[in-house]
A and B are shown apart, each in its own frame.
Chain A
Amino acid sequence: KNEVEQSPQNLTAQEGEFITINCSYSVGISALHWLQQHPGGGIVSLFMLSSGKKKHGRLIATINIQEKHSSLHITASHPRDSAVYICAVARNYGGSQGNLIFGKGTKLSVKP
């Protein structure tokens, strides 16, 4: 079983819909990242979370440390949101630096 699981793998939505992408993990973490990758493009950081909730424009990310679960929400989706969304966790090594573990990504397509 992968240590970071994302669902769904693929998602098609109509413009304007509310979208939720989920990320579950099985290890202790110090932080969780949400990343975005447009087709043929580079990877950009959307959020870094260690607790609670963050909002940036139409994007909202939440994390529940006890349940080992995070969600990325997109309100009023737009075709330009079409991209792969990647969840990554920073494993907690008790203060020492480790590495990131990545989910396989969720491919989102928003139709006009």
Chain B
Amino acid sequence: NAGVTQTPKFQVLKTGQSMTLQCAQDMNHEYMSWYRQDPGMGLRLIHYSVGAGITDQGEVPNGYNVSRSTTEDFPLRLLSAAPSQTSVYFCASSRGTSYEQYFGPGTRLTVT
């Protein structure tokens, strides 16, 4: 099993550009989530999904969109990048919040 994969590993964007961070898992997990990690802030939930076709907002959803058309994939879209979105982004999957969590390797995004 590849586990949770994220692409790209690094990305530099200019303000106003859009892009999609990819996340995929091959463990047939229903629960998938996106977090951003900033110094001194810990992990903050952006969006999560409890199954294909079902998504919900987390703590910091503004400026981000998600969709879940398949169990395997959970892409995160930045609509119009802003310097405040400079961060490290982690995707995670699991059978649910009361089960072991599996994290992807992260994407380091810089917005100039």
Q: Which residues of A contact B (CB under 8 A)?
A: 30-31, 33, 35, 42-45, 48, 50, 86, 88, 90-91, 97-100, 102-105
Contacts and interface: CB of A to CB of B under 8 A. Distances in A.
Interface string B22-35: 00000000010101
A100 B101 contact: yes
Contact of A100 (B45, B50, B100, B105): B45
B97 interface: yes
Interface residues of B, number: 26
Contacts, number: 60
Contact of A31 (B97, B102, B106): B97
Interface stretch (B11-19, B36-44, B69-77): B36-44
B66 to A, nearest CB: 13
B97 A100 contact: yes
10 contacts: A31-B99, A33-B101, A42-B90, A45-B101, A97-B31, A97-B97, A98-B97, A99-B33, A102-B44, A104-B40
A45 B35 CA distance: 15
Contacts of B41: 104
A30 B103 contact: no
